[in-house]
Homo-oligomer: A and B are copies of this chain.
Amino acid sequence: MRQGSGTDQRQHVLGCLHEHARRLADELPGRLGRIRVCSGDVIIEVEWAPIALAAAVPAQLEPAAALVSALEPAGAIDSRAIGSQDADSGNTVVVSAPLVGTFYHAPEPGAEPYVAVGKVIEAGATIGIIEAMKLLNPVTADTGGTVARICVENGEAVEFSQVLVEITPHH
């Protein structure tokens, strides 16, 4: 519902890039030092480890592992999963919907909302309730901090993994 087609496309490209990187690493002979795949204006770079400097080793390695996880579509999607994660937008974390249902800010109509923008909460605090099949499911924050944004109106339906609240953690 929320992912625009631009994102879809980008993920699709990322998947391909990932494949290209992996296959190049598979197919190319010798000991690789660096592979760079770029889609902006379509670049592939491969660097082999300088043999004579073998001992000094891989300071320059854009490690394959990092590339894989950054490019892995499944990983990107899973990052929308339940609970709090680092959001893209720097230093906020999000609390997303762990199930489909109706999101409520407060335990009952007229009651004080669990959170408000600017409020400081602790890890484990309830930030709202999702009603599904007449059951009320409290939603809690994994990370404490200051509530930066409430992304869903009171009484609004939410899909799985939809972002409910953004929190700025304290460091």
A132 proximal to B (CB < 8 A): no
Q: Which of chain B's residues have a CB closer than 8 A to the CB of A22? A: 24, 27-28
**Interface-lining segment among A13-21, A110-118, A134-142, A153-161:** A13-21
The reply on A38 being an interface residue by CB < 8 A is yes
Contact B23 A10 (CB under 8 A): no
The answer to whether B16 and A14 touch across the interface, beta carbons within 8 angstroms, is yes
As for how many copies of this chain the complex holds, the number is 2
Indicate if A33 sits at the interface (CB-CB under 8 A).
yes
A49 touches B50 (CB 8 A): yes
Q: Return the chain B residue nearest A37 by Cβ.
A: B44
Contact partner of A40 (CB less than 8 A), chosen from B23, B30, B43, B44, is B43
**Interface bits A95-131 vs B (CB < 8 Å: 1, else 0):** 0000000000000000000000000000000000000
Binding site for B on A (CB under 8 A): 7, 9-14, 16-18, 20-53
| Sample (28) of A-B pairs whose CB atoms are under 8 Å apart | A10-B13, A10-B39, A10-B42, A13-B42, A14-B17, A14-B20, A14-B42, A14-B44, A18-B24, A22-B24, A22-B27, A25-B27, A25-B28, A25-B46, A26-B29, A31-B51, A33-B48, A33-B50, A34-B45, A34-B47, A36-B45, A37-B45, A38-B41, A38-B42, A40-B42, A49-B50, A50-B52, A52-B52
